[in-house]
Amino acid sequence: MTAGCIDRQSPEGFAMQTAPSRQLNYPIEPYDKMYAGFNESGFYVPGVPYKQLDPGDLRQIVHDPTLDPVGTVVIDPKRHHLYLILEDRRAVRYGIALGPEFPAAGQSFKVGSRESWPVFYAAGKKKADGKPAKDQPPGPGNPYGARALYLTQSGGAAGIVIHGTSNWREIGKTASTGSIAMLNQDIIDLDRRANPGAEVKLL
């Protein structure tokens, strides 16, 4: 196994990956551990050179700036941040990248179905440069990365996805493909915290 990476198929890593139930209050690890490379489901996800990112875009516990109910996911497109609201006026904040499928601000959605290592189906989708996207099999290079949380609106599919990405350089900026991109390490963390049906608000 590559030095500095976590094998999530080992007993220790498997426990990290498959908590018996989703819960908000997982601890925040040191960044060298949080953003280490890891193996999962036959794929290797590279570590993130987190020191090259804006410190404000790294996963961290912050004061809740929203006053929204516990468990709500709040997306601030101007600052490229996603918040998951915790108890006691706290929130987990993650850096995000906004892709060409990002919706207009001021809308609300709910977390619908979710997938680990999803297939990326490109029908009707375009890259940020306007070129058509292509179907891609599961894997770290897939535009949706390690997880995809599909959002719903008014009971139906919204066509909006919170998903992973291996392109760490896009965090805090514009993503070339997709909707709301997070580092693979961060989307896995969000997936294990956010409940099915959680409200997702766009500021």
pLDDT digits (tens, 9 = 90+) for 112-137: 999 999 998 877 666 666 676 778 89
**pTM of the predicted structure, to 2 decimals:** 0.84
Q: Which residue has the tokens 């929203």?
A: 66
Helices (H), 86-155: none
Domains of the chain: 6-202 (2.40.440.10)
Distance CA 92, CA 83 (A): 6
Sequence-distant (≥ 6) Cβ neighbours of residue 137 within 8 angstroms: 119
pLDDT digits (tens, 9 = 90+) for 53-83: 999 999 999 999 999 999 999 999 999 999 9
Sequence-distant (≥ 6) Cβ neighbours of residue 89 within 8 angstroms: 63, 64
> Left if phi > 0, otherwise alpha if psi is -120 to 50, otherwise beta: which for 192?
alpha
> For all residues of the chain together, what is the average pLDDT?
86
Question: In the chain, how many H helices and how many E strands?
Answer: 3, 13
For position 112, what pLDDT does the model report? Answer: 95
